[in-house]
């Protein structure tokens, strides 16, 4: 088995903090960029990631047909603002790229406050934040601003200026592969099309980048494929270009919204009981060892929608802390660098590492002393004095493993059955193996 990180708890906690800080720093670097489905913001983001990991950049011409879709033109923003007759800009793209609806067409018009209203998006229930809006496949324009700011506007005529272009170019996505001994692949995927939204999804981009960097130094059994691509059209483009080999994907996670303190939440793949689905439920998150809340597959969400479409039906689930759409900061200017925290990013990173550990470290133990319990005290594995009300976790892990190590249960099976974390079962199993109490019947392949 390959430990992604040392088992030593103190060391690990230090590493987690370390990882959290590193991930937060990267998320902060990419936060200001104006990403969208295409364009310079995406390229710039991938440039930064390439400073951390080897990143193969793929460019696919706009206008290319991808299944039922067509790659849209590249969208470039030069400027965007609303100007008061006095000359002062009351909304300015320079202050936040959320102010401009993604894929807005160019405009230069004088409009009354009332005429403006049809193109201004606000959130009356959250009057202080700017919403995030997109219009990828519609020729329209929109300005997003806080409801309070819009309400405060005087009833005069405003100049709206949006200098954007949609021109032929490329859709760009990045790929990083960590070759393992097996050709079976684990897909780690995240979208890179959201502008200045920290949790959704600078957090996911930064976490997977740090994971790729970390994995580099370690041998793995499975091959890990990291894909950084724009939402929907990027996933579809990747699928269309890998059509003949997607069968190698033996499990995968779409990783988004991993920087806040909620959850964790996991939405199962369409298959529902794939190893990845089972693995996630056997890990814990954060200082309180919180169990993930497991949700059945639904066809709405992030790019697992594409991987789980019926023509592919890949074992790919969605991992998040707070679920998208459920926290008030979601898709607003409040999803900023204050909303995500290094300690949460670190805990999410540890959790993904633990999931990988389940996939990598799942073997089938055989109890070599199956007639009754072995006398654990003899191996220094049992408290010397008896009479206690209950037993500690490690002792319970020994007992669960010994009882179910009948050759038909893997460590993952035993973790599920015992409701103990896989890491606990795995650590205990190694000790039992060291003591000669169990042998390994080999890796449990996905």
Positions touching a copy of itself (CB under 8 A) are 66-69, 101-102, 131-138, 140, 142, 232, 235-236, 239-240, 243, 270, 298-300, 305-306, 308-313, 324-325, 330-331, 367, 369-375, 377-378, 384-391, 395-396, 399-400, 402-406, 418
CB of 89 to a copy of itself, least distance (A): 23
Q: Dump strand ranges (E) for 312-382.
A: 316-320, 363-367
Can you tell me the distance from the alpha carbon of 270 to that of 272, in angstroms, rounded to the nearest whole number?
5
Select from 247, 227, 111, 236 the least CA-distant residue to 173. Answer: 227
Using DSSP bridges, classify how beta strands 265-267 and 293-295 pair: parallel, antiparallel or unpaired.
parallel
Cβ-contact 248, 184 below 8 angstroms: yes
CB of 233 to a copy of itself, least distance (A): 9
- Which run of H or E residues covers position 289? none
**Is the CB of 70 or the CB of 148 nearer to a copy of itself?**
70
Can you tell me the distance from the alpha carbon of 145 to that of 123, in angstroms, rounded to the nearest whole number?
8
**Is the CB of 246 or the CB of 291 nearer to a copy of itself?**
246
Burial class for 312, CB neighbours closer than 10 Å (0-12, 13-18, 19+): middle
CB of 80 to a copy of itself, least distance (A): 17
CB of 92 to a copy of itself, least distance (A): 20
**Is the CB of 225 or the CB of 331 nearer to a copy of itself?**
331
Rounded CA Rg of the chain: 25
CB of 9 to a copy of itself, least distance (A): 24
Give the CA dihedral 101, 106, 109, 113, nearest 10 degrees: 0
End-to-end CA distance of the chain: 15
CB of 416 to a copy of itself, least distance (A): 12
DSSP, residue by residue, 62-106: TT-EETTEEPPPEEEEEEEEEE-TTS-EEEETTT-GGGB-BTPPP
- Which run of H or E residues covers position 442? strand 438-443
**Is the CB of 10 or the CB of 385 nearer to a copy of itself?**
385
**Is the CB of 209 or the CB of 323 nearer to a copy of itself?**
323
Select from 109, 319, 337 the least CA-distant residue to 211. Answer: 319
**Is the CB of 8 or the CB of 406 nearer to a copy of itself?**
406
Instruction: Classify residue 69 as left (phi > 0), alpha (psi -120 to 50) or beta.
Output: beta
**Is the CB of 192 or the CB of 347 nearer to a copy of itself?**
192
CB of 5 to a copy of itself, least distance (A): 29
Give the CA dihedral 173, 179, 182, 185, nearest 10 degrees: -20
CB of 184 to a copy of itself, least distance (A): 22
**Is the CB of 17 or the CB of 366 nearer to a copy of itself?**
366
**Is the CB of 3 or the CB of 291 nearer to a copy of itself?**
291
CB of 55 to a copy of itself, least distance (A): 24
């Amino acid at each position: 088995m390959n430990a992604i990180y040392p088992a030593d708890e103190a060391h690990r906690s230090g590493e987690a903090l370390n990882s959290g800080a590193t991930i937060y720093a990267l998320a902060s670097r990419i936060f200001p960029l104006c990403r969208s489905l295409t364009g310079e913001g995406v390229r710039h983001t991938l440039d930064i990631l390439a400073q951390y990991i080897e990143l193969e950049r793929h460019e696919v011409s706009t206008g290319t047909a991808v299944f039922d879709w067509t790659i849209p033109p590249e969208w470039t923003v030069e400027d965007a603002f609303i100007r008061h007759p006095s000359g002062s800009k009351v909304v300015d793209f320079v202050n936040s790229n959320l102010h401009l609806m993604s894929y807005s067409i160019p405009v230069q018009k004088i409009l009354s406050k009332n005429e403006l209203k049809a193109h201004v998006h606000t959130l009356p229930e959250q009057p202080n934040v700017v919403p995030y809006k997109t219009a990828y496949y519609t020729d329209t324009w929109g300005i997003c601003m806080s409801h309070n700011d819009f309400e405060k506007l005087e009833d005069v005529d405003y100049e709206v200026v949006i200098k954007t272009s949609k021109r032929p170019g490329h859709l760009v996505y990045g790929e990083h592969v960590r070759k393992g001994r097996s050709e079976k692949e684990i897909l780690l995927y995240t979208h890179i099309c959201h502008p200045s939204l920290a949790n959704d999804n600078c957090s996911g981009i930064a976490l997977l980048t740090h994971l790729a960097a970390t994995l580099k130094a370690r041998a793995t059994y499975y091959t890990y494929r990291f894909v950084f691509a724009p939402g929907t059209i990027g996933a579809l483009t990747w699928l269309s270009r890998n059509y003949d080999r997607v069968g190698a994907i033996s499990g995968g996670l779409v990783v988004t919204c991993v920087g806040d303190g909620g959850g964790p939440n996991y939405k199962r793949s369409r298959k529902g009981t794939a190893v990845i689905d089972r693995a996630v439920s056997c890990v814990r998150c954060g200082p309180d060892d919180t169990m993930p809340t497991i949700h059945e597959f639904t066809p709405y969400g992030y790019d697992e929608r594409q991987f789980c479409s019926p023509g592919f039906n890949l074992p790919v689930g969605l991992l998040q802390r707070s679920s998208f759409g459920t926290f008030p900061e979601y898709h607003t200017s409040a999803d900023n660098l204050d909303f995500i925290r290094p300690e949460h990013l670190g805990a999410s990173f540890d959790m993904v590492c633990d999931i990988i550990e389940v996939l990598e470290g799942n073997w089938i133990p055989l109890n070599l002393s199956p007639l009754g319990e072995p006398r654990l005290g003899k191996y220094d594995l049992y408290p010397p004095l008896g009479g206690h009300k209950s037993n500690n976790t490690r002792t319970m892990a020994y007992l669960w493993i010994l009882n179910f190590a009948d050759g038909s249960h893997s460590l993952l099976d035993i973790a599920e059955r015992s409701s103990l974390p896989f890491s606990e079962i795995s650590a205990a199993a190694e000790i039992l193996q060291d003591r000669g109490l169990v042998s390994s019947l080999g890796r449990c392949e996905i």
